[in-house]
Amino acid sequence: MLNALSVDVEDWFQVGAFETTIDKASWDGRLHRVERNTEAVLTLFGEAGVRATFFTLGWVAARYPALIRKVAEAGHEVASHGWDHLRVFRMTPAEFSDDLKRARSAIEDATGKGVTGYRAPSFSIDLRTPWAHEVLAEAGYAYSSSVAPVVHDHYGWPEAPRFAFKPLADSDLIELPVTTVRIGGRNFAAGGGGFFRLFPYELSRWALGRVNHRERRPAVFYFHPWEIDPDQPRMAEAPLRSRLRHYTNLERMAAKLQKLLRDFQWDRTDKVVAEQAARLP
């Protein structure tokens, strides 16, 4: 079973958890760690012999084009994570379309290759954005991996399908939701992020294995370059809850990822999407 491995390429100061504490105008002046951290991710993947998808902010691609080119040249897919991490439900359809264009051209300029995949910042395609998939289809995207079918304090569309689906009747656009595990009629986030970093590795292994073996479906897993960086600057002024979520177990993350890369089979998201698409009506 091939599972979709992905990295959401953004720096430590661009995360949703700090959006009320860190002004976007200050981003350029902050200590940038995304280049060294993404290099470290490339090394991890290289050692494990896996390929993945790097959902990259246009903001990052515009500032570090050589890094993004290197990612593509290593055989990974480079896809879009929007321009500057503005959540889709904060935009109008026209603003979303502009955000997609701006990010895509920065990424395509860096790699020289077309972008066909998109992941919304903080899985922000949900019931508030019924137009989002249509905008993506019009822009020529083949797939989106932007829906989290869970109840969560920051995001979620609990009623959405848990596995690959076609959100539009008149388009082949595929939505590949992030992995959840279903227990007692409820969906729980199990596709990475805080779930993977904060809880014991065995819990993730169990959840992803259950999706693979019991449901016979690929897992869709994600993490961020800053999650393997215990030396990143600390935001003492952020809310306690955000700090706990952001800083816990950073020093253990790389070793945990090594286990994950070894215990499951991984590939680029576009490959997994193509396989799933062939099974859809």
Residue numbers at the binding site for Zn ion (CB under 5 A):
8, 10, 121
Please, what is the Cα angle at 218 between 213 and 219, to 5 degrees? 100
The residue (of 12 and 266) whose beta carbon lies closer to Zn ion is: 12
Smallest gap from Cβ 212 to Zn ion, in A, equals 25
Q: Which of 194, 201, 198 is nearest to 255 (CA)?
A: 201
| One-letter identity of residue 230 | P
How many residues comprise the chain? 281
Bridge partners (DSSP) listed for residue 8: 55
Distance CA 99, CA 83 (A): 6
Burial class of residue 18 (count of CB atoms within 10 Å of its CB; 0-12, 13-18, 19+): middle
Smallest gap from Cβ 139 to Zn ion, in A, equals 19
Smallest gap from Cβ 206 to Zn ion, in A, equals 26
Please state, as a whole number, how many other Cβ atoms lie within 10 Å of the Cβ of residue 36. 12
3-class DSSP state for residue 135?
helix
The residue (of 10 and 175) whose beta carbon lies closer to Zn ion is: 10
The residue (of 39 and 84) whose beta carbon lies closer to Zn ion is: 84
Q: Which of 44, 39, 101, 54 is nearest to 270 (CA)?
A: 54
Pairing of strands 186-189, 180-183: antiparallel
Which residue's C-beta sits nearest to Zn ion? 8
Smallest gap from Cβ 128 to Zn ion, in A, equals 18
Smallest gap from Cβ 123 to Zn ion, in A, equals 9
The residue (of 8 and 270) whose beta carbon lies closer to Zn ion is: 8
The residue (of 121 and 156) whose beta carbon lies closer to Zn ion is: 121
The residue (of 8 and 77) whose beta carbon lies closer to Zn ion is: 8
